[in-house]
Structure formats: structure tokens, C-alpha cells
Amino acid sequence: MLSPKTVNVLGLAPCSKINQKKTIPQQNPNKTIDLLVFCVILIPEGHIKHIKIIKHIKWLQRGTKMTFEKPDHSSSRLLYLQIADIIENRIINNELKTGDRIQPERELCKSFGVSIDTIKQAMAHLEKDGYILRRRSLGTTVISAGKKAGSSFKDRKLVCFVICTGASRQTEGSATFHELIDGVAEAAKEKKLQLLYKPAGTDKTELDFEGKEKDIAGLIVGGNITPQHIQVIRKTQIPFVLIGDVFQKERTLEYADVISTDDFQGTYTAARHLLSLGHKKIAYLSPHFNNYPWEQDHFNGYRQAMKDSGLGWDSRLEIETCSNEIGKAQIAIKELLNSRVPFTGMICSISSNLYFGVMKALNEYKIRVPDDVSIVAPEKMPGATYISIDPYAVGTAALERLTDRIQNPGWKPKRVVIPYTLNISDSTREPAGSGAGEKMNETAKS
């Protein structure tokens, strides 16, 4: 037998106690219980050759089946985020304690009434936030009652600007978009960050960072952002911020920070400028009036300015081209001119191509800017009055939100709205006569 002295040196109870039959006390069924199993090879005292101690053999139990409230399928918040919120609240409120095991994902599917893919996304989200640990064949365990602290730009100095390409919003060759890229680059340089550029077409199923994934702190996503792009970007599991909304009927959901422009204010400011010069008949030209939320904002800004002036609006002067093409804008303005509806001012909204189409049509009919018609362009054009945003302000806002998301455990998505600035140049002046309508009548008489 081992003497009590020898056993105590090993940190074990005396043999008489070891051999006593013990009853395992009732434990929280949600806990993982550690059993210490001692395998001792006994040799006459003084001739101990081996004492092998095997520790921490887990008594694995299935997680307790908890009752969870169902997610709201009519909510704009994604289902997997709703489920992650529900489980997160249980952890924060100590209903699920550190060390508790969460029931298997297949059972969670039944509890929440969702697919296995949705549950896997929710679990991945909770694991990324540091609440749980998932291990194959061992299940899911709560490891913390609070979010883990994020990484920081001290560890990773690389930010990737993902440029989403597509037909709806011009990126290649767009002066405004290139200014935006320059603004982000300037803001990144000021923060001593390196900027990597990565194009992403709608045919991409994943982003190839060429082995630099571990060096990338976050993504700034801009351009022609579609739901397909978002799916690819979220697969990277790298924090990201959007510059502009996703091209969809609804506004971008609350899963990410969005740096957007105050489109209502921009067009309202343009219309108020023309009104202040004395224009009363102001035409409004846009690809669409309400296909996307920002188009509706621009259109509402125009109408509100006309309403606030006490003049109201003339629906005959509201031109929807149904396209960003120069030729379609040219045809639309020629039809307006041929209708002889008088106007002295015009706002070209959203697309620079509309401005080019307007100028072609006016030139064809020998209508002069600004003598016959004053025009406000949607972005910087030589000699034109235009509305614009500060690209550096956009870049700075994007990096600040990205920093907050990376470093702040309590991060919540936020929409940052950047206002437009009116830049007055040679394409606007006080009206002279009844404008384009009068010019067309004079041409017809001659």
C-alpha cells in the first residue's frame, strides 16, 4: 500500500479514501463535469516505479433543451442576427452561464423554426464575438458572458477597398468615383494605413486577397454594391463598412455601417439655388423617380423645394429617362422641347450621362446655357454649377466607423450621412424670358 505520506506528496487522498465508494452529486445538466480518474500501479512501498495520473476525462452531456422565442420573419433584421441576439441575451442575462453547453444545431433548427444554414450563421456570429466555442463532436459551449475585444490597427495595417462593379452605378471612368477613392486613400494615409484595392464583379463567388487575409484589418466596400456582393463579402468574415447603399428596393439593413449621402438635401439645395435666381419653371431629369431609395430621396428633394417656394411642381417637367444612357436622355429632352412646355431651369439628377444627353439635345436645337436655360449638374463638370460631396469626409467617416467596429466590443451598426455642397459656376444665372419654350416657338416661326 502507498503510505499516507507518499500519497499526500502526490496530491492524492489516502488509499482508504480513494477506494471509498462515492456518489456523484447531482450537477447542473447543462454543465460539463470533469472527472479525475487515477490509475495507480501499486508496488511494495519504497519500490514505486510508475504512478500514472490521467486528468480531465470529460463526461459529455447533451446541452439542456431550452425554449427560445421565435425570430420575426417580417422584420428587416436578418434571421441569423435575430437568433444570435436571442442567444446572446440569454448569455448576458446569465440564463446560459459560462461552461453551459448549447443544444445541437439540429435541435436549434426546430426550436427557432429555421434552416440549418441560418443556425450555423448565428453560431458563427456568436463564436466570432467570443461568446461560444464550437468543437467538432464535442458540441457548443458558452465560454464568456461578454464580447471579446476586437483586433486593432496596431496589429493589422492593411485596409482593402473592394470596388464593386456593375451596370447600375458607374465606377470605371467616373470622375466622382475616382475622387472618392482618392478621398479614402488620403484618409487612410493620415491614419498610417496601407490601402489595397480589389475589384469585385457580380460573377465572383469569393474574394481572392492573394494570401494577405491575415494582414487585412477591414474592408471598405463601394461602387455598384449588389446583394450578391454582400454575400461574398460576408463570407470573408472580415469587418466591413459600405460607402453607399446596396442596389435593392429596400434600404440597406442594419448588418453594417453605411456611409451615405443626403440625397434629399442635395437636390433640394440645387432647386433652391435656381429658385433664388428667379426661375419658376424648373424641369427635373432622372433615370428613375423611385426604383431605389436614393432616387426617391432626390425626387422628393426637388418637389419639396418647389412646394416650399409656393409654386408647386409641373408634372410635365418631371422627366424619367428609364436609363442612364446619354442617347435616352437626349431623346427625352428633345421630346420635352418639342412639347413647347416652357422651362428656364433644369436639374440633372444622379447620372452625369444625363447631363451630357441634355447638352447634346440643347445644342442640336441651338438653345444656349445659361442664356436660355440654366442647368445644375449631378457632379463636377467643366463650367457647370453642380452638387458634390467631400470625398475626404466620406473616406474619413468610413475609416472611423471601421475602426469602431474593429476595436469596440459594443459596436452597433450606424448610418453616417454626408451632406452635399453646391458649387456655383457658369451654367446658372437669372432667367431671361420664358426660356426654352420661347426659344422653340421663335425657331418654329422662323
Model pLDDT, residue 174 = 65
Q: Residue 343: what pLDDT?
A: 95
Side chain identity, residue 193: L
Whole-model pTM: value is 0.65
CB within 8 Å of 314: residues ≥ 6 apart? 281, 341
d(CA 382, CA 295): 25
CATH of domain 79-142: 1.10.10.10
Q: Do domains 158-262+391-420 and 263-388+424-445 have the same CATH topology?
A: yes
What is the pLDDT at residue 59?
36
Q: Are 267 and 298 in contact (CB under 8 A)?
A: yes
- Specify the CATH superfamily of domain 158-262+391-420: Response regulator (3.40.50.2300)
Cell digits of residue 389: 460631396
Residue 329, pLDDT score = 97
> Domain ranges in the chain?
4-59, 79-142, 158-262+391-420, 263-388+424-445
The CATH number assigned to the domain with range 263-388+424-445 reads: 3.40.50.2300
Locate all alpha helices (DSSP H) within 115-169, ordered by sequence.
116-128
Instruction: Specify the pLDDT at position 40.
Output: 40
Report the 10 Å Cβ neighbour count for 294.
Answer: 19
Q: What is the pLDDT of residue 437?
A: 59
- The pLDDT, as a whole number, for residue 305 is 98
Sort strands 139-142 and 101-102 into parallel, antiparallel or unpaired.
antiparallel
Are 90 and 131 within 8 A, CB to CB?
no
Residue 25: predicted pLDDT: 43
Instruction: Transcribe 371-387 into DSSP letters.
Output: TT-EEEESS--TT-EEE
Bridge partners (DSSP) of residue 329 are none
CA 212 to chain centre: 22
Q: Calculate the alpha carbon distances from 251 to 78, 202, 219 in Å.
A: 13, 20, 20
pLDDT in tens, the chain (446 residues): 434 333 333 343 444 343 444 443 444 444 443 433 333 444 444 444 443 333 333 334 455 568 899 999 888 778 998 999 899 888 888 888 888 889 999 999 999 999 999 999 999 888 887 888 888 777 898 888 766 655 556 667 899 999 998 765 555 556 677 888 888 888 888 888 899 999 998 887 888 888 888 889 999 999 889 989 998 998 888 899 999 999 887 776 667 899 999 999 999 999 999 999 999 999 999 999 999 999 999 999 999 999 999 999 999 999 999 999 999 999 999 999 999 999 999 999 999 999 999 999 999 999 999 999 999 999 999 999 999 999 889 988 998 899 888 877 778 888 999 999 999 999 999 998 766 656 655 554 44
- What the block records as the C-alpha cell of 21 is 465508494
**In this structure, which amino acid lies at residue 244?**
G
User: What is the structure's pLDDT at 136?
Assistant: 78
* Collapsed DSSP state (helix, strand, coil) of residue 438: helix
Q: Calculate the CA 361 to chain-centre distance.
A: 39
CA 194 to chain centre: 21
What's residue 253's pLDDT?
A: 63
Q: Distance between CA 229 and CA 224 in Å, rounded?
A: 9
Contact 115, 157 (CB under 8 A): no
pLDDT of residue 205: 84
Q: Which residues of 109-135 are buried (b: 16+ CB within 10 A; e: fewer)?
A: bebbebeeebbebbbebbbebbbbeee
